[in-house]
Amino acid sequence: MADAEPVGNTTATATLPLLPPSFCAFLRDNHIDAEVYNTSRQLPRYVRIIRYHQRSKHYIDELVQQIQADAGCKVSKVDSVPGFVEIADQAIRLSQISAYNNGDIVGMDVSSGIAALAMSVEPGDNVLDLCCAPGAKLLLLADLLDNHRSNTSAIQRGTVTGVDISPHRAATCRSLVKKHAGNDRGFIRVFVDDGTTFDCKAPQHGWHDPQAVKAASASVNSPSSSSDSSVPKAKRQKRAVSGQPWFAPKLLSTAYACSGTQLYDRVLVDAECTHDGSLVHVQKYAQWGWDQLDTQVVDGNKSVTVPILQSKLLENGWRLLKPGGVLVYSTCSLSRYQNEFVLGGFLARHAEDEAVLEPIPLLAGSGVIVTSPIWTPVDDDEWDRAGLSQRRSVFSRMRHAVRLNPLVSNTSGMFIARIKKLQHGAQLEESEIVTLALPPSTQQCTPQPI
């Protein structure tokens, strides 16, 4: 592999090892400011307090003090994002913090928390997390439902359904749920499935009532009827079966519960991306080897295939959302091709009487989290060069989407859009699910200084 090249000034490169030429070319082709990667050591580390809304102020204050004592650096609450705590030194290992070992906190960047909270989960909601691994957002969503359940009847209890295509990543998600979810485990399903084609609706009304499930299950096939009886029971339980959860409590894993016809009230599409906005993620490749960065981010045709995958995930999530519901689309990429161009392609397929972007409530007022506007061509020449002159109205509809830029937000990079569904639209052909534009391939790039 070619030698790494410097990014920015020599002082900044001391905080992040030299980046390989292929990644620098990826940044150029995707219009990403390489200066972002000079800030990695300056960003804090974030954690989230489990079941924050159930904790007393005294408990939380003491917990923050204990985290500070263990970390040996400044620790403070993120006032504008409930439940999140900022640890000044990013290099602190969670394993040295007793609250983490005790299961009271979980590692989660505040940018991811904002994306999940942007859905405004309400009592009784059935929530779908279409790309759920490694599980931090899934756990947060379950926490929010648990917060509401204290004042609601059993009939109003909601559910959280997670989907991930990778059994390995789903296993990570399952472990996180088992460790931290507590009683919330009874309201969570995790499927190993393709998010672009996933078609399991929300659990049927009465799923939480054992008698209702028992009565209704007689009219549907039992999950065991589709299992291979020649396989030992222990192994059958670990097998991912299409249409059945890979992890769920008994009441949510019966054929009755998985034969629901209701659409979801809230859908989160935190789409698979190149993770270039996650500075900690990029930094880890210095230890893992830059060859892995090439494989997972810039090699092959990912710059083209990832936005297409994201468009399909977004479209399927929208199909599973009920009218009046809210979908949040987010990525931890800084590439306009994975953000504005994917969202713009979606809006071009769905008229204003079907889909409308809304402000993100958590970011609507003044606060410590500073957002950046979405990318938009600045003049007629740029509109023409980008081939977007006929798409100005689409960008106008995107005005409530936001970017979290590490240079100003003090978080990892994130793109977030909150979309309300007004009504169903026409069924689309797969060939119609496209982005506004695709980036040039970085596969054969020539290293150049930044």
* Catalytic residue numbers, as ranges: 332
Give the residue ranges of DSSP H helices in 265-301: 279-288, 290-293
188-192 and 159-164 strand pairing: parallel
Give the residue ranges of DSSP H helices in 323-379: 340-349, 361-364
**In which element (H, E) is residue 404 found?**
strand 402-404
**In which element (H, E) is residue 211 found?**
helix 210-217
Environment class of 84 (CB within 10 Å of its CB; exposed 0-12, middle 13-18, buried 19+)? buried
Distance CA 118, CA 109 (A): 15
Distance CA 147, CA 51 (A): 8
270 is in an annotated binding site: yes
Identify whether the C-beta of residue 34 lies closer than 8 Å to the C-beta of residue 406. no
Environment class of 356 (CB within 10 Å of its CB; exposed 0-12, middle 13-18, buried 19+)? middle
Distance CA 183, CA 50 (A): 12
Distance CA 363, CA 367 (A): 7
Distance CA 177, CA 160 (A): 11
126-129 and 159-164 strand pairing: parallel
331 residue type, one letter: T
Backbone angles phi, psi at 154, to 5 degrees: -60, -30
Q: Name the nearest CA neighbour of 403 among 377, 375, 372.
A: 372
Give the other-Cβ count within 10 Å of 352's Cβ: 11
194 is in an annotated binding site: yes
Distance CA 176, CA 267 (A): 20
Question: Dihedral sign, CA of 256, 257, 263, 269?
Answer: negative
List the binding residues.
Answer: 164, 194, 270
